Amino acid sequence: MKVSILFGLLIASSIINAQENNRKSNSSISINFSSVPLMSTSAGDTSFENAFSITPIIDLRTKTGWGISYAPSIVTSGLHPGIYMHTVSAGYERYGEKNFDLAFNYNHFFFTKNEQVPYSPLNNEIYFYLNYTKSLLQPVLASSIGFGIDTSGGASNSVHDIDLVLGLNHHFNWEDKGIFSSIELTPSLLANIGTNGYFSFLNNSKYLSHSNQFINYVKNGNGNRGRGRGRGGNNNASSTTSASTFSLSNIESALEGDFIMGSFTLRPNGSLFFPTGSNSNGIFGYCQLTVQYHF
């Protein structure tokens, strides 16, 4: 794993040095509206349903792209509404460059004691994103390496998950459209490949963290499905341990928009997921909206 991380950082550094565009990066505050699965128990039966989630974000970033951010995530319904996770990130992001969009970050998730949110032992993530923007169909490569300590079974075990995204997208741009100074739409076709050992909030596995259909993917515990209580962290029961193989999870069709008006950006996006292999249990999707202010 250390070799993979070092290799990714070396690639990122070489790309940064090759950039010729001097577009300034800005700090921002934003708020994201999305969903998170919550456990529901009725007559001894456990199920999961999607709940509304709000995440305010403050991102402090230098002109060169380095920065840190903080984001508390709040669930607005269920038996225990309130903050279920704090996320602190540090790293590098540059978008709208001459040849590449690039990001690499370390993210740490601080889970609270909201037992309705599925348990995840993965509270660390190393994230890498690269989009080559000079061709008509623009290749996308993204990776998430998640790791942490699983204490749900009474013992402490080091665990990890790896998620990889490969695909193509294209950016459509329009200038000075009505009240917007710029509009950009980006359709994508992506393959999500991962180990999916555990429920997680990794950047590349939103088909887990944004949908109650995550139980069709997770190999160890399936969100624990209410089989008792685990550690006093964010959730519930103990998980079982099985081999987590690296395999194709689904094909994703996504559409992201950027509607820019002065210092404000309205960013809706949504995805449809087409499960593959043993995960096949119908098409499902999610959508989210981010309102961002640059300063």
| Sequence ranges of the domains in the chain | 33-294
SS3 label, residue 160: strand
Tokens (6 digits) for 105? 């970050």
CB 71 within 8 A of CB 86: yes
Q: What is the pLDDT of residue 279?
A: 60
Q: What is the pLDDT of residue 238?
A: 41
Question: What pLDDT digit, counting tens, does each position of 96-154 carry?
Answer: 888 999 999 999 999 998 989 999 999 999 999 999 999 999 999 999 999 999 988 78
Question: What pLDDT digit, counting tens, does each position of 187-201 carry?
Answer: 999 999 999 999 999
Residue 278, C-beta contacts closer than 8 angstroms, at least 6 positions apart: none
Angle (nearest 5°) at CA 187 between 272 and 208? 35
pLDDT, average across residues 68-91: 96
Q: Distance of CA 216 to CAs 94, 199, 282, Å?
A: 35, 11, 10
Class of the domain covering 33-294: mainly beta
Q: What is this structure's pTM?
A: 0.83
